[in-house]
Structure 1
């Protein structure tokens, strides 16, 4: 069992696995995306799903629940107007309107500290429905 530090603001701890998998995504590009879930019973943020390098943004959006909050990171590859291959790491805070108010508050109060644990986030996006995190919005925010 990993030791994790509790967040004084929300009481949430971040599992070491979250940080390790994020480093693998950032440094080794072992994953295309990671979906994180707060396990309320144990007061900890855990890795829920690892998107393999061949998976797409559509695979990420399909893995987010319709009625519950999640955090996700996505490694977005794109080509600039100058024809340069680039990559940006997005942090997505998913908080659908249909999720419980308590969950929305829990994710909102834990977000900043959790995000600080993931060193290398370049763009943050908050979404309450799929239209707020379409691939066009991702592309627009990356450039």
Structure 2
């Protein structure tokens, strides 16, 4: 597994500058991890993407890694790692994501909470709130 430079840089933007609300990473067929998409926080009068839009942007039948910057109480921010592995994903992809997860997380210093999700109920706002509190 090779981490593209953008992966770390985008994570640092989220962590230090709070530019993004979330980042979704994908492992390409050549085993390179890339930033598939990121969701900005509200800036310059733009509408901020909702949590539901982030959750619904995860593919229904493919694995992904995701980072979510969430704040339920002002000033109490958590950076969450989500290992997205839906039951409909191909077994080979599930194995690749599972076997590279720890190495990927080590590259991104500052993750505070980890979730393994097979469907959206595993990462609902209520499930995240229960886990964080």
Residues in 2 aligned to 1:56 and 1:139: alpha-carbon distance in whole angstroms: 16
Q: Is 2:132 the partner of 1:142? A: yes
Aligned residue in 2 for 1:113: 103
Aligned residue in 2 for 1:77: 71
Normalised by the length of structure 2, the TM-score is 0.92
Residues in 2 aligned to 1:59 and 1:113: alpha-carbon distance in whole angstroms: 28
Contact 1:64–1:70 under 8 Å retained in 2 = yes
Contact 1:32–1:56 under 8 Å retained in 2 = no
1:28 to 17, 21, 29: 17
Residues in 2 aligned to 1:58 and 1:142: alpha-carbon distance in whole angstroms: 18
Normalised by the length of structure 1, the TM-score is 0.86
Q: Is 2:84 the partner of 1:94? A: yes
Residues in 2 aligned to 1:22 and 1:59: alpha-carbon distance in whole angstroms: 20
RMSD across aligned C-alpha pairs, in angstroms?
0.9
Displaced runs of 4 or more, over 2 A: none
Aligned residue in 2 for 1:16: 5
Please report how far the alpha carbon of residue 89 of structure 1 lies from its aligned counterpart in structure 2 after TM superposition: 0.2
Note the residue ranges of structure 2 that are not aligned, 5 or more in a row. Answer: 42-47
Aligned residues: 127
Please report how far the alpha carbon of residue 56 of structure 1 lies from its aligned counterpart in structure 2 after TM superposition: 2.2
* Residues 13-57 of structure 1, C-alpha deviations (whole Å, 9 max, x = no match): 1111000000000000110000000001x2201000011102222
Note the residue ranges of structure 1 that are not aligned, 5 or more in a row. Answer: 1-11
Contact 1:74–1:89 under 8 Å retained in 2 = yes
Please report how far the alpha carbon of residue 138 of structure 1 lies from its aligned counterpart in structure 2 after TM superposition: 0.8
Q: Which structure: larger Rg?
A: 1
2:28 to 36, 39, 64: 39
